[in-house]
Structure 1
């Protein structure tokens, strides 16, 4: 038990700051659509087929300047989001008119926070660091629960420490952590699994990572080069015929030659905000190559599709958003106080007096 306590304290002291950043940025991102202050941001979502076709054709009209993907408006954000390469992007109204552009995600606060939360502003390296912090977070929740059991009779719930002394901070850390432990476990597991997919095997079984990979992989097909004017109307109408009640969510151009155009849709039964019902089209002719219904995917893939909406509070309405907001704030508090108490509030081992005698500090 002493070794477990030592590991918990030292790992927390080293990783707590990363968890603070993840917790705070994630909490703000839960509500990010509410503070996108742009014209048409509060417009009602449009899913009318002719309107979507017209807007898509307008946004994709110029072969030299068309976006690589379009994320269509939702019921919480009335703007389409366009991506141009790796960094640049734009918001457009649902008629296809550009509202604002950016060359760097730092120019948009919601995109900056998204990059901070997902990549720690360090690209793939930051994403890996965040994943490792998530694994450490799983260890903290499990080991903290074990360590708390010894002191369960002294439990007292407080939102903040009684005082900023190290014993008070440690007691607050222990008791606040046990209150939020189930939700912290959920957040850490779902977040880590989205970065390190093999972690899904802990809950979904050893074969889950391979099943998930196969379920999301694009079909192999011989296709031509992307046409100057792809038949967007044909693709969107075909998607509507296959899934008449589903929302059209994301349209993506091929990332390399010889790959299909991808259209993602969201059926009412899906939790994932952008859905995982996917259609692939030939980039030269607009002919349908394959349509994959998310509701008929293997159980492991369907379960994996619930991880992001659970992690980001994209399901469960306002009540769950408020719960996850509290969880994010609790994680921020636990991480920050763990670092502060470990590095800056450790009791001095001794106080030296003029006589040269050393006595323990109180």
Structure 2
């Protein structure tokens, strides 16, 4: 049985190794996406606030953007919580999903400080590579299959690693002063053992995006029924209203949701739908915990809410999949752990390939046949 599992482990690894390297390395970057973006592109998120200056209203900023790009429809507005933060507008460039123009504004002067195609930004490309290999639905199928094979690799690898009692100590330590062949084997087996729990959970949560039936299993486990599609409430827009309704929406959002957080005002995709306003709670250690409020377009009248605390257990679990997958569950400690495990996971196909290649090139030992001696009586 162990021989068969070894054969299975080998060929599953050869079949998915290259994809695992790409997905693991891109995933390691995405662990610190927010931190790296703020570090290398600070102008996208903060401005130098003039002394005594007041921030312009969202409606005035929206008018400036509309006058500059009259043919583009707004998709959403992102407002960071800090006083010196920028305000970012995302405009629809086409009908295809993701074709957005990012417009960054200084809220004190109304100046447009940066524009870029959203799908060309570095981390958007990295995320596209991680999920779709930059190949659309075809890439999604490939990464889904590779992720499934990787979960089997982790299980089969653990079975192959499992030592006998007298060899347990050897399987828990890397012999750094050994030959390259032994050192490579230790790096594959020992490092793989220490990270197997984390990467197994990462692979399983990744399958939630790859397959709808896995996503539904999550809801069946917690709610006893499949996921219910979230519908934006119907609300006929008020036209010709002169009030500052975007500012009203922003102010009421912060009144109802008093914690610090990033506010995202999303305009409806269909007519007679409400505006959705999401606020991510940055006071919590766990990332991507969002409450949603709905408002009438053109008036800013509050309609309803969809709060994380009131969601079903299945929906709450589904919301936690992303921070579990990216290491954002308990802040920096789990992020660092996820980063290290992603780097080690990317090395496993390489060390595994070297083990296989070394065995393949090993010359078979030719045993000399010993002729029986003739005994003379």
TM-score, normalised to structure 2's length? 0.76
Unaligned runs of 5+ in 1: 352-357
Q: How big is each residue's C-alpha offset from its partner over 1:20-56, in whole Å with a ceiling of 9 and x where there is no partner?
A: 111111112222334433353564999xxxx888246
Give 1:15 deviation, angstroms: 0.7
Shift in CA distance, 274/66, structure 1 to aligned 2, threshold 3 Å: farther
CA change 1:303–1:207 in 2 (3 A) is: closer
- Alignment match, 2:306: 292
Name the structure 2 match of 1:89. Answer: 101
Change (3 A) 1:349 1:159: closer
- For 1:128-167, list aligned pairs within 5 A: 128-150=141-163, 153=168, 154-158=170-174, 163-165=179-181
Aligned pair 1:71/2:78, yes or no?
yes
Aligned residue in 2 for 1:32: 33
Shift in CA distance, 283/309, structure 1 to aligned 2, threshold 3 Å: same
Structure 2: give runs of 5+ residues left out of the alignment: 93-97, 368-377
Q: Distance in 1 between matches of 2:178 and 2:200?
A: 26
Q: Matched residue of 2:361: which SS?
A: coil
Bigger shift: 313-322 or 136-145?
313-322
2:191 maps to 1:176: yes
Q: Per-residue deviation at 1:121?
A: 1.0
Q: Distance in 2 between matches of 1:159 and 1:129?
A: 36
Corresponding position of 2:253: 239
CA RMSD, 1 decimal: 3.8
Q: Answer yes or no: is 1:101 the counterpart of 2:112.
A: no
Cα distance between partner residues in 1 of 2:280 and 2:139: 30
Q: TM-score scaled by structure 1?
A: 0.78
Q: Residues 1-362 of structure 1: matches in 2 within 5 Å?
A: 1=1, 2-36=3-37, 37-41=40-44, 43=46, 54-55=57-58, 57-59=60-62, 61=64, 62=66, 64-73=71-80, 78-85=85-92, 86-90=98-102, 92-93=104-105, 95=107, 97-103=111-117, 105-106=119-120, 108-150=121-163, 153=168, 154-158=170-174, 163-165=179-181, 169-200=184-215, 205-206=220-221, 208=223, 210=225, 213-214=227-228, 217-221=230-234, 223-224=236-237, 231-245=245-259, 247-267=261-281, 273-339=287-353, 341-342=355-356, 344-348=357-361, 359=366
